[in-house]
Structure 1
Amino acid sequence: MKYISYPFFYLLALCSLLSACHVGKRYVAPDYHLPDQYRMDAEYKDSVGTLAYVNWREFFRDSSLINLIDAGLANNYDMRSALLTIQIANRQLSQAKAGFFPEVEARLAGVNQQWRSSEFYSSPASKIYDGKEANKDLFRYQSQYYTDINVSWEIDIWGKISSQKEQSLATFLASSEARNAIQTRLIANIAKGYFNLLKLDAQIEVAKRNVQLNDSTLNMIKLQFDAGEITSLAMQQTESQRLIAASLVPQLEQQIQIQENALLELTGRMPANIKRGKRLSNLINESKISPGSPLSLIRNRPDVRESEFKLIAANAQMNNREALRYPSLTLGGAFGVNAMMPENWFNIPGALLGSALGNLTMPIFKNRKLKTAYEVAKLEREKAEIALQQTVLRSVNEVSNSFTSLAKQKEQLVLAEARVANAHLAVKNAILLFKSGFATYLEVITAQSNALTSEMNLVSIKQAQLESFVELYRSLGGGWSVTR
């Protein structure tokens, strides 16, 4: 017995010695070559903190918008699918953690009967026939009745199992960050859709007001036509200008319904009317606007973090593929009962069975499969690092572009407001001069057309500025956490 057990203890000692070995490369974060600050207008450079850490409930000030976002986070199909993806990754992580434990299998009842014929090289088992003469054709050669417990345990010598666990953990964390990225995009898309809806509401008010103004002008032109002071051409051109403004109303009503349906689709609901809150002003807490640093962007933006976890998973996958090319050590054993005759199945101690084994196996020639798998995993890791660098570059550019848009849209807004004020004054003066005979009807309808265009443009700039605030919030990684 001692002679048999010594090699097994030698194997255990070898196992403990080799378990300290680990192949592959530890993950090290790449150098992102980040600038010290974003490219932005001077007015934002002295800001402190970062917008990304502002709760989205504090960032938006419209209760109707907040209700829409709440509904979207609860019912959006992409969000629900992302949560299931996280659960799948969590199950896979639990499976990877269990890889460090042995496998135990119980065979509750097993029967093995083998028959041979006279041309077989051996004879029937004597205990089965108990001295009786066996058939020459299809005699029972072997009979087994067994119940046992089998144990198999692979020792993680080269870090293969730990690499699998690291890969599963990184995949789980990447799925969580993917869900956060979906949430930031969802919040931004709902906010942009809602702001577009408010813009359309404001534009349809402008169009209807302009139609009323054109009706008043047309009545004035009719009076002068009846008095013989102008020709029918003036009435026709004035009516044409009125029809242009009137045709905008059904177009905008169409866009409003389509935008409402699109917003409700994001919230997982069927088409219906959407309750509005405030107008296109004071919808965002602009006092919270501050850029932070590009380094804080790397730490907070979900898609960057997702890309990094994918790189960590690819690095672990590469290490796992490399470990598969090295020897593997498996310990095992069995304990139970085994008898040739069914009546002796549980005859203890006569039917007792016990075994212990240890296998140290080394792949030698696998048709280059293991080497190819390792080389492919190494290239996949390089691709994951390129994807991470690309995501970081895109993120920094998006933040810089958002700051540029905000700065330039402020200038456009000042000019657009001045243009609207000037257009309204021009309409007022044109009507007064026309009534006094110092202006033609063409000057009146031209002034009204310019006023319509200017007001429409002003509303669009206000909406674009709100979208830029939202895009800045999203690009900085804001909106994925309710509490900070």
Structure 2
Amino acid sequence: MSCLTGSRRLLLASVACLGGCTTVGPDFRPQHESWPEHWSSPAFEQATTSRTQPDASQWWQVFADPSLERLIDEADANNTDLKVAGLRVLEARAQLGIAMSGRYPQVQQIGVDAAYAKTHNHNEPTGSVPGSWQYGAGFNLGWELDFWGRFKRAIESADAAYFASQANREAVLVLVHAQVADTYYTMRTAEARLRLARENADLQKRSFEITERLFKSGESDELDFQQAKTQYLSTLSSIPDFESQITLARHALAVLIGRPPGPLPELDEQSDKQGFIPLVNRAVLQDVPANLLLRRPDVRAAEFHMAAQSALIGVAKADLYPSVTLLGTLAWSASTRAGSPSTLTVAAGPSVIWNVFDHGRIVNNVRVQDARLQQLEVGYQGTVREAARQADDAATSLISALQRDSILRDAETSARRSLTLANTVYREGYSDFQRVLDAQRALSAEQDAYVVNRANAVGSLIALYKAVGGGWHTDQPLIDPATREQMKQRTDWGDLFDDIESPSASAHSPASPAR
């Protein structure tokens, strides 16, 4: 009894001293450069406006296109990359659970054994000596006290990695939404160019038929006929290419929304949207550009990765110091041999392990972890600069496309008028057919340039929203119900599925991870 009392006192004293333990390693503090806090650019300010709705989290609503919104909703539910990103959040949460187990005894062993023994003297017959059963049971406990914060730092690292995985999923959302919208308007652009190609082919076909008739009747030479034929066939040859672009874009959309490549009949329901390319002259934002850049999911993920690596320095430094472990053993043994007593053994005490001869290896491991942190810090700054460049480039491209829009529209109107005049003077015999061909070629080129520029404006707007991290919102759970059920049939997941649906990483700062 006195042994148990002494062990209990030793355990209580050891636990009490934990309050004064030291946590080695650096406490993470984000090393932000000063320029992102005030960053902006004339192009960015000119290409954006501040309104409340729709905001950058669901920026695709600025296009007011129900087909696009349905595609994005389906991508949120079924996109493969999003599903994998959600599962990685679940994996990181389980890894955090592993790290948190360091708070509890690391060694917990229960052993039970039984053996039959028979001994005899060589002078006596074997059968005359009775055998006996021997029984034993024991319980071993080992608890390494976190004097130097090894387990605390490991939990910090896993905690930051968990929130980094959530930020990475939001980054995948940003990318998928931009890809869906970009591919959708690539398809609409190809539809518009196909319509123009068919219209111009019909127009040039009439000219070709006229020159063919005049040539066969001897009223015109062969040159007009061959030139008209060449231009008509050239335009006609572009039609299969545009049809192929439409099909390929539809296949890409099907994969993005989690379907096998194939037709998308719902896109044909709104005939008014086929070949329609909207012109949105501003990106609607709700915050200053500096805040938007620093809240980009990939930027936040990079910061969480720095926090995780910073904590690993403390884990490595803890190896420089002795580890103190409380050990306890409770053992019972008994035998069926007559007169043999049962025994109960209780032992408890501390164990100190210090790898004094591994100093060089441990120090160099600390250096390795510190070098990795520095790499992440440099990479973080590069990520922020790249984000600013992407935003500025997209804004510049959007402004350029908007400026060209009115010019190309006027050029198309002028080219159409030129073709009308060229046809008139040709019919009246005041010019040759070459001017008609030139006017047709100019009209076709200006119409196509106008459509392509509209597509560039839409693409630049999408790129601008993507550059500021817009599009991270979704109403879909991280793990869809079907996947949850499939995984629960294999493994006991406890409450982890519910845990990962708690507030996302965007609500936490890497400098003070959630506990």
Q: Shorter-chain TM-score: which interval?
A: 0.7 to 0.9
1:404 is aligned to 2:407: no
Q: What is the match of residue 307 of structure 1?
A: 302
Asked if the contact 2:293–2:388 (Cα under 8 Å) also holds between the matched residues in 1, the reply is no
Q: CA deviation at 1:42?
A: 7.8
Amino acid at match of 1:97: M
Q: CA deviation at 1:211?
A: 0.8
Select 1:231's aligned residue among 181, 201, 221: 221
Q: CA deviation at 1:6?
A: 5.9
In structure 2, distance between residues paired with 1:134 and 1:282: 104
Q: 1:473 to 1:195 in 2, by over 3 A?
A: same
Cα offsets for 1:396-455 (capped at 9, x unmatched): 111111111111111111221111111111111110110011221111011101111111
Superposed, which structure 2 residues align to 1:331-346 within 5 Å? 331-339=326-334, 341=335
In structure 2, distance between residues paired with 1:384 and 1:357: 43
| Identity between Structure 1 and Structure 2 (%) | 25
Amino acid at match of 2:456: A
Select 1:39's aligned residue among 33, 38, 41: 41
Select 2:405's aligned residue among 410, 413, 424: 413
Q: What is the match of residue 30 of structure 1?
A: 31
Q: CA deviation at 1:390?
A: 0.8
Q: What is the match of residue 130 of structure 2?
A: none
In structure 2, distance between residues paired with 1:43 and 1:437: 55
Instruction: After superposing the two structures, state which structure 1 stretch, 147-156 or 164-173, moved more.
Output: 147-156
Asked if the contact 1:59–1:284 (Cα under 8 Å) also holds between the matched residues in 2, the reply is no
Instruction: After superposing the two structures, state which structure 1 stretch, 294-303 or 43-52, moved more.
Output: 43-52
Q: 1:287 to 1:40 in 2, by over 3 A?
A: closer
Asked if the contact 2:44–2:395 (Cα under 8 Å) also holds between the matched residues in 1, the reply is no
Amino acid at match of 1:309: F
Select 1:182's aligned residue among 172, 192, 196: 172
Asked if the contact 1:146–1:337 (Cα under 8 Å) also holds between the matched residues in 2, the reply is yes
Amino acid at match of 2:101: A
Amino acid at match of 1:266: L
Q: CA deviation at 1:345?
A: 13
Asked if the contact 2:293–2:468 (Cα under 8 Å) also holds between the matched residues in 1, the reply is no
In structure 2, distance between residues paired with 1:259 and 1:476: 25
Instruction: After superposing the two structures, state which structure 1 stretch, 278-287 or 462-471, moved more.
Output: 278-287
Instruction: After superposing the two structures, state which structure 1 stretch, 473-482 or 271-280, moved more.
Output: 271-280
In structure 1, distance between residues paired with 2:372 and 2:115: 48
Q: What is the match of residue 448 of structure 1?
A: 440
In structure 2, distance between residues paired with 1:269 and 1:345: 78
Q: What is the match of residue 313 of structure 2?
A: 318
Amino acid at match of 2:302: S
Amino acid at match of 1:98: S
Select 1:378's aligned residue among 363, 370, 380: 370
In structure 2, distance between residues paired with 1:343 and 1:104: 33
Instruction: Structure 2 unaligned segments of length 5 or more: list them.
Output: 124-132, 476-505, 507-515
In structure 2, distance between residues paired with 1:234 and 1:446: 12
> CA-atom RMSD, angstroms?
3.0
Asked if the contact 1:23–1:159 (Cα under 8 Å) also holds between the matched residues in 2, the reply is yes
Q: 1:280 to 1:402 in 2, by over 3 A?
A: farther
1:271 is aligned to 2:261: yes
Asked if the contact 2:61–2:69 (Cα under 8 Å) also holds between the matched residues in 1, the reply is no
Structure with higher Rg: it is 1
Asked if the contact 1:54–1:288 (Cα under 8 Å) also holds between the matched residues in 2, the reply is no
Amino acid at match of 1:454: E
Q: CA deviation at 1:37?
A: 3.4
Q: CA deviation at 1:344?
A: 8.7
In structure 1, distance between residues paired with 2:461 and 2:193: 21
Q: 1:379 to 1:346 in 2, by over 3 A?
A: farther
Cα offsets for 1:336-365 (capped at 9, x unmatched): 4124x3559997xx3222111211222201
TM-score (norm 1): 0.86
Amino acid at match of 2:17: L
Q: What is the match of residue 261 of structure 1?
A: 251
In structure 1, distance between residues paired with 2:178 and 2:345: 67
Q: What is the match of residue 102 of structure 1?
A: 105
In structure 2, distance between residues paired with 1:39 and 1:291: 17
> Equivalent residue of 1:41, what SS?
helix
> Equivalent residue of 2:387, what SS?
helix
Instruction: Structure 1 unaligned segments of length 5 or more: list them.
Output: 115-127, 136-142
Q: What is the match of residue 473 of structure 1?
A: 465
In structure 2, distance between residues paired with 1:345 and 1:310: 66
In structure 2, distance between residues paired with 1:414 and 1:463: 14
In structure 2, distance between residues paired with 1:470 and 1:345: 88
In structure 1, distance between residues paired with 2:361 and 2:339: 45
> Equivalent residue of 1:55, what SS?
helix
Asked if the contact 1:318–1:378 (Cα under 8 Å) also holds between the matched residues in 2, the reply is yes
TM-score (norm 2): 0.81
